[in-house]
């Protein structure tokens, strides 16, 4: 996994929220937030660039 940035998920998948409800994932690729600061969690909004996120 890269040290910075989102987790990219490609292919046929389903994303569920904490209530087991399916989130919209109609695209073939989505970027999931790893830094925890995205305003559109669980999806990435690029905030990791501002907070200089680095997975250690």
Q: What is the residue whose two structure tokens read 């990435």?
A: 44
d(Cα 45, Cα 56) in Å, to the nearest integer?
21
Mean pLDDT of 30-55: 90
Per residue in 1-36, pLDDT (tens digit) is 556 889 999 988 888 989 999 987 677 899 999 999
DSSP strands (E only) in the chain: 7-10, 15-16, 22-23, 29-32
Task: Compute the C-alpha angle 17/51/2, nearest 5°.
Answer: 70
């Amino acid at each position: 996994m890269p040290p910075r940035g989102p987790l990219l998920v490609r292919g046929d998948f389903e994303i569920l929220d904490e209530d087991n409800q399916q989130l919209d994932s109609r695209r073939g690729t989505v970027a999931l937030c790893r830094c925890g600061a995205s305003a559109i969690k669980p999806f990435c909004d690029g905030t990791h660039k501002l907070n200089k996120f680095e997975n250690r």
